[in-house]
């Protein structure tokens, strides 16, 4: 049996890949443990790692055919891998996209390479996160890698992560 080798040239990037190898995006999110309703989160850091065996293409190299990352709010850590939306009016809705929460300019990642995206004072916590039936006063700040499902990955079930943040009144 002959192994087939696939060669792709994207801009100035050349990727050698044996047939069957695939990228695999894993995401982490870091933010303050406490945030204020209706105010900006001081800093959110998202780290995207390609744990796969092939490069994953970023939007800087291939436009909309590259991966993006959404920052969403949820009452639980289970968020769908799909495009999130910013609700109108800007009040809490389950699995909502934060205003400014789409990382649409991403870097191509080789296997075992990571990229860190930092958002400083641009993501606003919406109103309505502390309703009477939600007595914890918290929510999960989640990152969703490749919400548009444009990347064919080795594992499509590890593209989300979330951290519990406490929401306080201004």
Of 130, 133, 121, 143, give the one whose Cα is nearest residue 91. 130
**Token pair of 70 as six digits:** 């959404």
Of 163, 47, 70, 60, give the one whose Cα is nearest residue 108. 60
Rg of the chain on CA atoms, in Å: 18
Q: State pLDDT tens for residues 54-89.
A: 999 999 999 999 999 999 999 888 999 999 999 998
Q: What is the mean pLDDT of residues 92-98?
A: 92
- pLDDT at 91 > cutoff 90: no
Residue 20 pLDDT: 78
- pLDDT at 38 > cutoff 90: no
β-bridge mates for residue 162, sequence order: 142
Q: What is the DSSP letter of 84?
A: -
32 assigned to some structural domain? yes
106 assigned to some structural domain? yes
Q: Give the CATH number, domain containing residue 111.
A: 2.60.40.10
pTM: 0.85
DSSP letters spanning 97-155: EEEEEEE-S---B-TT-EEEEEEES-PBPPB-SS-TT-TT-EEEEEEEESTT--S--S-
14 assigned to some structural domain? no
63 assigned to some structural domain? yes
34-36 and 160-168 as β-strands: parallel, antiparallel, unpaired? parallel
- ∠ CA 37-39-45, nearest 5°, is 100
- ∠ CA 24-33-91, nearest 5°, is 85
Residue 8 pLDDT: 45
Residue 127 pLDDT: 74
Q: What is the DSSP letter of 63?
A: G
Average model confidence (pLDDT) across the chain: 86
148 assigned to some structural domain? yes
8 assigned to some structural domain? no
2 assigned to some structural domain? no
Q: How many domains does the chain have?
A: 1
């Amino acid at each position: 049996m002959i192994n087939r080798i696939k060669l792709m040239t994207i801009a100035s990037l050349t990727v050698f890949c044996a047939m069957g190898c695939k990228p695999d995006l894993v995401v982490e999110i870091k933010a303050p443990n406490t945030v204020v309703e209706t105010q900006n989160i001081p800093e959110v850091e998202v780290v995207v790692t390609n744990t796969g065996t092939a490069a994953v293409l970023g939007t800087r190299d291939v436009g909309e055919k590259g991966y993006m990352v959404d920052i969403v709010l949820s009452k639980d850590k289970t968020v769908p891998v799909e495009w999130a939306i910013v609700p109108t009016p800007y009040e809490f809705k389950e699995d909502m996209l934060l205003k400014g929460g789409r990382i649409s300019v991403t870097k191509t990642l080789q296997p075992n390479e990571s990229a860190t995206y930092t958002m400083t004072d641009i993501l606003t916590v919406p109103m309505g996160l502390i309703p009477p039936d939600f007595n914890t006063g918290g929510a999960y700040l989640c990152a969703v890698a490749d919400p548009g499902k444009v990347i064919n990955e080795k594992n499509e079930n590890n593209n989300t992560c979330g951290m519990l943040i406490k929401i306080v009144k201004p």
